[in-house]
């Protein structure tokens, strides 16, 4: 535990996602669900009321074949750092921003399930438990003991794998490292991405790969114009992909990747 | 045992049922059988609604058609609407007890009952709407003072208590209950508080009506709803107060007219209808002006400044610009002008139609703020979504309607909701005798 007088070097955990690399394989979504004990979709669930902390959108440039080009944009909680929309609206402080990490956290044990935070989130990155969580017989043995499953009637979302962050903190303590320094760890999605399109780290560390990638050319953030300071940076060398992030008008013919196949 | 006629009466007292004994003196109500026939369908609707709500509570909100994008649906839209319509209670109290508009004494009891059923219904639906209703007390224990919803929760809880206290004297004035001396004393003592209650109710109502508007106006992440404002309050805060105050009297007018038609009795003097219409029209005109200015600022400054040209919101059908026209002109300006014109106001048909249009306009405004806001995507590559409520959602809301009708029906039968009724009845009888 960190003592009250210790000076903590605050981290600003964030991600860069290389859109040009992403193939839309969905490995990040699966890894995230397994890591965070997201239950298998209920038989009655659809892509609109299922739970996936990462949703991969498929976009295209709107041109006819053979000029058609596609890209995949994984969207999760963007961990807004400025006037975080969901934190401001929660009536009972079930959502907060950890000043030590910059991670927007959700406390399901305190959540009323009013869903005001979902209405407030511009990224539609928050999910409600419409059903009781249930795992097929035997599958409960695969549950991650570091992550509490959520009950019906509460909201949940990406927390940059809080269980892994906690394990990394314990590991650092065991190794005798000072507990005032940010720890290095990888969320499940970044670890599972087969082509390493997702880079994760402390954006305050200028030498770190994510910070460098975020500052490089071709980097952009979704809905940056709302000035909520999201911590997920996307990268693409293609102009039309970058333009899509802040385009005023929705593009024609765009849809979510494989929405017919997977239940989000 | 033989009944002995009371000294003052000229004819022997008839054997009466408990039902007849509870009916206030000097007014005429339908027979017990007829009354039972009236309440039976509403009771059946209430039972169906309770079953629907029970399903949502026991099986979960998967019984609704809401989803992760449509986090709010029919319930929130109708909650906001009934709370706006129920504003007649606080606003009539404010006009009567604070601004001393004595003519409104004729409708104050009815207004209190309407306010009570509107707020009770809304709170009950909210209890079904939240995923963990047993945690409702967390808002009082861990309040987030920055959240408009915290303010709404605090104010609505307090105001509902005020309405319940205001309802008690109406109940205690019942002919049978007055026979209990302690009730009479309690009612008398409670009556002394009426000015304090009116003041507290007005303060609380102003705040939560505003906060309900603020709920959407503060949503920076939803440029369709986001508005600039004054200090911590977005413009929708003030617009919701104004619109609720404007339609509150209209709804009182509408319900009183309906009760007159259904019960086939004169309950208030025509001047009271005219006064309610005039107050409503005046406030509605101010609201329409404020709403127009607000919309122009939003279209030309607020929305474009954050990169969302307002035209894009109306490119998704069925939400074309017609909805803006309907909200501001058709159901705003038109009823305001009708209510402000003395010649039109004098005709019951015009008066009632205008009041109904005003109520529809506010309902449309609440629909736009809740449903249209959520239907529009914010991410440029996201989809526009539509939503239609499930039968369980509709049933739950119908329970509120049935509950409202039942509470009002019983109150009308057994309590003196319209103090002028007896006077008007004897007046009409005197005219007939002449």
pLDDT in tens, A125-164: 999 999 999 999 999 899 999 999 999 999 999 999 999 9
| Burial letters B277-310, b for 16+ CB under 10 A, else e | bbbbbebbbebbeebeebbeebeeebbeeeebeb
User: Cα A193 vs. chain centroid, distance in angstroms?
Assistant: 14
Residue A255 domain-assigned (yes or no): no
Q: Do B139 and A116 touch (CB under 8 A)?
A: no
Which pLDDT value is given to residue B434? 62
Q: Do A250 and B218 touch (CB under 8 A)?
A: no
pLDDT tens series, chain B, 434 aa: 444 444 444 444 455 688 888 888 888 888 999 999 999 999 999 999 999 999 999 999 999 999 999 999 999 999 999 999 998 888 888 899 888 899 999 999 999 999 999 999 999 999 999 999 999 999 999 999 999 999 999 989 998 998 898 898 888 888 888 888 888 888 888 878 888 888 888 888 888 899 999 999 999 999 999 999 888 899 999 999 999 999 999 999 999 999 999 999 889 999 999 999 999 999 999 999 999 999 999 999 999 998 888 888 888 878 889 999 999 999 999 999 999 999 999 999 999 999 999 999 999 999 999 999 999 989 988 888 889 999 999 999 999 999 999 999 999 999 989 988 887 877 766 666 66
Q: Where are the beta strands (DSSP E) in B157-311?
A: 229-230, 233-234
Distance from the A251 Cα atom to the nearest Cα atom in chain B, whole angstroms: 6
Which pLDDT value is given to residue A3? 54
Residue A194 domain-assigned (yes or no): yes
Measured between CB atoms, which of B130, B373, B384 is closest to A114? B130
Q: Do B148 and A122 touch (CB under 8 A)?
A: no
Q: Do B379 and A247 touch (CB under 8 A)?
A: no
Q: Do B149 and A88 touch (CB under 8 A)?
A: no
Query: What distance in Å separates the CA atoms of residue A176 and residue B138, rounded to the nearest whole number?
Result: 39
Query: What distance in Å separates the CA atoms of residue B116 and residue B164, rounded to the nearest whole number?
Result: 7
Q: How confident is the model at residue A255 (pLDDT cuts 50, 70, 90)?
A: very low
Residue A173 domain-assigned (yes or no): yes
- Say whether the peptide bond before residue A66 is cis (omega within 30 degrees of 0): yes
pLDDT tens digits, A102-113: 999 999 999 999
Task: Say yes or no to pLDDT of A256 above 90.
Answer: no
Query: What distance in Å separates the CA atoms of residue B1 and residue B4, rounded to the nearest whole number?
Result: 9
DSSP, residue by residue, A209-245:
HHHHHHHSTTEE-TTGGG----SEEEE-S-HHHHHHH
Residue A127 domain-assigned (yes or no): yes
Which residue of B lies nearest to A246 if distances are taken between CA atoms? Answer: B380
Measured between CB atoms, which of B132, B135, B377 is closest to A250? B377
Distance from the B218 Cα atom to the nearest Cα atom in chain A, whole angstroms: 9
Measured between CB atoms, which of A91, A113, A250 is closest to B382? A250
Instruction: Read off the pLDDT of each residue in A53-67 and give the average, rounded to a whole number.
Output: 92
Q: How confident is the model at residue A249 (pLDDT cuts 50, 70, 90)?
A: low
Among B74, B380, B387, the strongest candidate for a mutation testing the A interface, having the largest count of A CBs within 10 A, is: B380
Q: Do B150 and A91 touch (CB under 8 A)?
A: yes
Task: Provide the domain count of chain A.
Answer: 1
Q: Do A111 and B143 touch (CB under 8 A)?
A: no
Measured between CB atoms, which of A114, A123, A227 is closest to B149? A114
Which pLDDT value is given to residue A258? 39
Which pLDDT value is given to residue B2? 45
Query: Cβ contacts (< 8 Å) between A92 and chain B: which residues?
Result: 135, 138-139, 141-144, 150
Q: Do A255 and B383 touch (CB under 8 A)?
A: yes
Residue A6 domain-assigned (yes or no): no
Among A115, A236, A242, the strongest candidate for a mutation testing the B interface, having the largest count of B CBs within 10 A, is: A115
Give me the residues of B, 291-310, that contact A with CB < 8 A: 306-309
Q: Do B62 and A254 touch (CB under 8 A)?
A: no
Which residue of A lies nearest to B369 if distances are taken between CA atoms? Answer: A119
Minimal CA–CA distance to A252: which of B384, B98, B284?
Answer: B384
B339: CB partners within 8 A, 6+ apart = B250, B277, B278, B280, B281, B282, B284, B345, B351, B354, B355, B358
User: Can you read off the two tokens belonging to residue B4?
Assistant: 């002995």
Count of CB contacts below 8 A, A vs B?
Answer: 177
Q: Tell me the CATH number at A42.
A: 3.30.70.20
Among A250, A254, A264, the strongest candidate for a mutation testing the B interface, having the largest count of B CBs within 10 A, is: A250
Which DSSP category does B28 fall into?
-
Residue A264 domain-assigned (yes or no): no
| Other CB atoms within 10 Å distance of the CB of residue B323 | 16
> CB distance from B129 to chain A under 8 Å?
yes
Measured between CB atoms, which of A90, A123, A155 is closest to B379? A123
Residue A119 domain-assigned (yes or no): yes
Measured between CB atoms, which of A57, A83, A249 is closest to B312? A249
Q: Do B378 and A91 touch (CB under 8 A)?
A: no
Which pLDDT value is given to residue B8? 42
The H-assigned helical ranges of B264-390 are: 270-297, 303-305, 322-325, 334-340, 342-345, 348-367, 373-375
Which pLDDT value is given to residue B15? 57
> CB distance from B374 to chain A under 8 Å?
yes
Minimal CA–CA distance to B264: which of B4, B30, B89, B1?
Answer: B30
Q: Do B62 and A59 touch (CB under 8 A)?
A: no
- Say whether the peptide bond before residue B318 is cis (omega within 30 degrees of 0): yes
> CB distance from B317 to chain A under 8 Å?
no
Residue A223 domain-assigned (yes or no): yes
Which pLDDT value is given to residue B426? 74
Which pLDDT value is given to residue A180? 82
Q: Do B138 and A114 touch (CB under 8 A)?
A: no
| Residue range(s) defining the domain that contains residue A139 | 13-249
Measured between CB atoms, which of A124, A152, A248 is closest to B131? A152
- CA angle at residue B236 from B136 to B93, to 5 degrees? 70
């Amino acid at each position: 535990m960190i003592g009250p007088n210790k000076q903590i070097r605050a981290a600003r955990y964030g991600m860069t996602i290389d859109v040009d690399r992403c193939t839309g394989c969905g490995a990040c979504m699966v890894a995230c669900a397994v890591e965070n004990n997201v239950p298998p979709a209920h038989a009655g669930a659809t892509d609109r009321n299922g739970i996936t902390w990462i949703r991969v959108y498929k976009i295209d440039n709107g041109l006819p074949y053979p000029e058609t080009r596609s890209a995949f944009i994984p969207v999760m909680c963007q961990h807004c750092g400025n006037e975080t929309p969901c934190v401001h609206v929660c009536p009972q402080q079930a959502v907060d921003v950890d000043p030590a990490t910059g991670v927007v956290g959700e406390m399901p044990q305190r959540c009323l399930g009013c869903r005001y935070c979902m209405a407030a989130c511009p990224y539609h990155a928050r999910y409600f438990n419409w059903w009781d969580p249930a795992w097929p017989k035997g599958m409960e043995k695969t549950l991650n003991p570091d992550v509490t499953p959520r009950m019906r009637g509460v909201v949940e979302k990406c927390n940059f794998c809080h269980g892994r962050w906690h394990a990394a903190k314990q590991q650092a303590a065991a190794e005798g490292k000072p507990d005032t320094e940010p720890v290095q760890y990888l969320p499940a999605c970044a670890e599972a991405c087969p082509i390493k399109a997702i880079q994760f780290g402390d954006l305050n560390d200028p030498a770190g790969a994510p910070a460098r990638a975020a500052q490089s050319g071709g980097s952009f953030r979704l809905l940056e114009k709302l000035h909520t300071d999201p911590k997920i940076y996307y990268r693409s060398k293609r102009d039309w992909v970058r333009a899509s992030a802040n385009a005023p008008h929705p593009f024609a013919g765009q849809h979510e990747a494989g929405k017919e196949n997977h239940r989000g | 045992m033989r009944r002995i006629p009371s000294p003052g009466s000229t004819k022997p007292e008839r054997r009466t049922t408990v039902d007849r004994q509870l009916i206030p003196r000097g007014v005429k109500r339908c027979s017990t059988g007829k009354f039972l026939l009236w309440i039976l369908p509403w009771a059946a609707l209430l039972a169906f609604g309770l079953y629907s709500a029970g399903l949502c509570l026991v099986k979960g909100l998967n019984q609704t058609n809401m989803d992760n994008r449509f986090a709010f649906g029919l319930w929130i839209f109708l909650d906001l609407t009934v709370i706006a319509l129920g504003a007649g209670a606080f606003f009539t109290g404010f006009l009567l007890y604070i601004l001393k508009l004595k003519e409104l004494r004729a409708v104050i009891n009815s207004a209190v009952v309407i306010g009570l059923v509107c707020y009770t219904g809304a709170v009950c639906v909210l209890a079904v709407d939240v995923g963990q209703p047993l945690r409702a007390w967390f808002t009082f224990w861990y309040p987030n003072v920055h959240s408009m919803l915290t303010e709404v929760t605090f104010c609505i809880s307090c105001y509902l208590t005020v309405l319940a206290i205001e309802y008690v004297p109406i109940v205690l004035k019942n002919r049978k209950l007055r026979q209990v001396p302690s009730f009479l004393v309690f009612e008398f003592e409670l009556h002394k508080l009426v000015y304090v209650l009116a003041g507290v109710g007005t303060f609380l109502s102003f705040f939560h009506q505003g906060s309900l508007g603020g709920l959407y106006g503060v949503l920076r992440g939803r440029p369709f709803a986001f508005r600039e404002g004054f200090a911590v309050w977005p413009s929708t805060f003030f617009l919701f107060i104004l619109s609720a105050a404007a339609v509150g009297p209209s709804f009182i007018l509408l319900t009183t007219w309906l009760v007159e038609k259904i019960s086939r009795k004169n309950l208030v003097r025509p001047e009271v209808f005219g006064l309610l219409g005039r107050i409503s029209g005046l406030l509605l005109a101010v609201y329409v002006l404020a709403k127009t200015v607000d919309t122009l600022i939003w279209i030309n400054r607020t929305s474009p400044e954050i990169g969302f040209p307002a035209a894009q919101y109306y490119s998704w059908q069925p939400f074309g610009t017609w909805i803006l026209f309907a909200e501001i002109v058709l159901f705003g300006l038109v009823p305001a002008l009708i209510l402000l014109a003395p010649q039109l106001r004098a005709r019951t048909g015009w008066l009632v139609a205008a009041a109904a249009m005003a109520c529809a306009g506010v309902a449309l405004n609440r629909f736009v703020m809740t449903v249209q806001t959520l239907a529009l995507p914010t991410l440029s590559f996201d989809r526009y979504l539509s939503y239609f409520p499930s039968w369980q959602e509709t049933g739950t809301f119908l329970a509120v309607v049935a509950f409202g009708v039942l509470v009002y029906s019983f109150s009308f039968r057994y309590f003196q909701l319209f103090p002028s009724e007896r006077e008007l009845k004897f007046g009409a009888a005197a005219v007939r005798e002449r």
